Chain A
């Protein structure tokens, strides 16, 4: 064993940890694209079930469209959560990350960012296509996509915190649902509310402002919570 005092300490930084973790998770996702494809396929499938179950009158579809798309995106984002930390936790990589010189804040945020690019962003990009199936007007489609663009990062951050807390717990997916879904409720309300307001001729700005405020608050607070949760889970 060499003496550790003489060796220069490795410098850790937020940005280095962030970009390293994001690049790593994106590479992993790129090499196994099936997970991202499954998330998007699930979203499209759920959104297709509603017209078949409720009835396909155009007025009805145009009215429930924004809400159905949001619920579908929320469930798809939720189902993608276990992939965020579970495999890294199982094979010990997560423990190595907590031992790295980079602050947990950095690589935790990087992992969540990669997760959003793989799950939230494709859902956002696909949403106008699903909206067309529901006969939504073009301006509503745009607001819908904007609300998803602002809202899905919040889902990834909140869900990431819950997924990190539930690592190694009994009850698995059901426990994660109990933790994450109640916290998703405000995001769903304001996200679906924005598109709904646009569809009924009101201004979507208040809903989008609240979503934006939620995103800023989540960006500031939740990476820290995720880092703490991961540290709780590995020691």
Chain B
């Protein structure tokens, strides 16, 4: 078995096209289940009332914003060290979804903060570092597209993404390191302080966010591959067929 068979853009193009719809279907089913649990089944929170239900969008998108940056940085590292073309394309394809997740996490957080904290925004460590993450995604995308030669953009942006990894532990541990208004984590590997339906709903929504992110990345990487390889014979034969 050749483990590197799908590391070539031309073979991965077909695989991504076959897999993407399944990820979207899984995302839709999981979202339907998760929203049903979150909005209809899960009990009203004793302290926050109904407004806590924002967490079913907020927590999964916030997790994804960090995971996706980490995965993007891993692809960037691969592309810098091994100079593999597909890694750089995958990193480029992940960035917009990561930025979207970061934006959604900030936006839903603001809507949760207004009734709960009495303000849309506070300059505490968690919120500020998440905002920096959004700008890191923007910076990555801007730098990747700022050069005539796309390979040059790949490498410069990859190095930027690796420098920006420093921000991830800052976001994750900000609620422990600083005395922030943002609450600490309710979920950990040791157990949880949440009602079990709430936790299930949140985990199902997270799985849905994963499936969506993978599907969206696969669709986007197909466009990146087509754009990059447009002068090759196999892309031309796609148009002819």
Contacts and interface: CB of A to CB of B under 8 A. Distances in A.
* A and B co-occur in one complex: yes
Given A182-B135, A185-B128, A165 B160 contact: yes
B97 to A, nearest CB: 19
Interface residues of A, number: 24
B160 A179 contact: yes
Given A182-B135, A183-B164, A171 B142 contact: yes
Interface stretch (A80-88, A98-106, A124-132, A227-235): A227-235
Given A178-B135, A178-B139, A182-B136, A228 B159 contact: yes
B4 to A, nearest CB: 25
Contacts of A171: 142, 146
A68 interface: no
A229 B146 contact: no
B234 interface: no
B156 interface: yes
Given A165-B143, A166-B143, A171-B146, A186 B170 contact: yes
Contact of A232 (B136, B156, B170): B156
A162 interface: yes
Interface in B132-158: 132, 135-136, 138-139, 142-143, 146-147, 152, 155-157
Contacts of A233: 152, 156
A222 B157 CA distance: 15
A169 B139 CA distance: 12
A225 interface: yes
A178 B163 contact: no
A175 interface: yes
Interface in B98-153: 128, 132, 135-136, 138-139, 142-143, 146-147, 152
Given A185-B128, A185-B132, A179 B159 contact: no
A170 B146 contact: yes
Given A225-B159, A232-B156, A166 B135 contact: no
20 contacts: A158-B163, A165-B156, A165-B157, A169-B156, A170-B146, A175-B143, A179-B139, A179-B142, A179-B143, A181-B135, A182-B132, A182-B135, A183-B132, A183-B164, A185-B132, A225-B163, A228-B159, A229-B156, A232-B156, A232-B159
Interface in A150-183: 158, 161-162, 165-166, 168-171, 175, 178-179, 181-183
Given A170-B147, A175-B143, A232-B155, A162 B160 contact: yes
Contact of B146 (A169, A183, A222, A232): A169
Contacts of A170: 146-147
A232 B152 contact: yes
B185 to A, nearest CB: 22
A155 to B, nearest CB: 14
A171 B147 CA distance: 10
Most buried by A among B139, B157, B162: B139
Nearest to B136: A182
Nearest to A229: B159
Nearest to B154: A232
A104 to B, nearest CB: 13
Contacts of A229: 156, 159
User: 6 tightest CB-CB pairs across the interface, nearest first?
Assistant: A169-B146, A182-B135, A165-B156, A179-B139, A232-B155, A182-B132
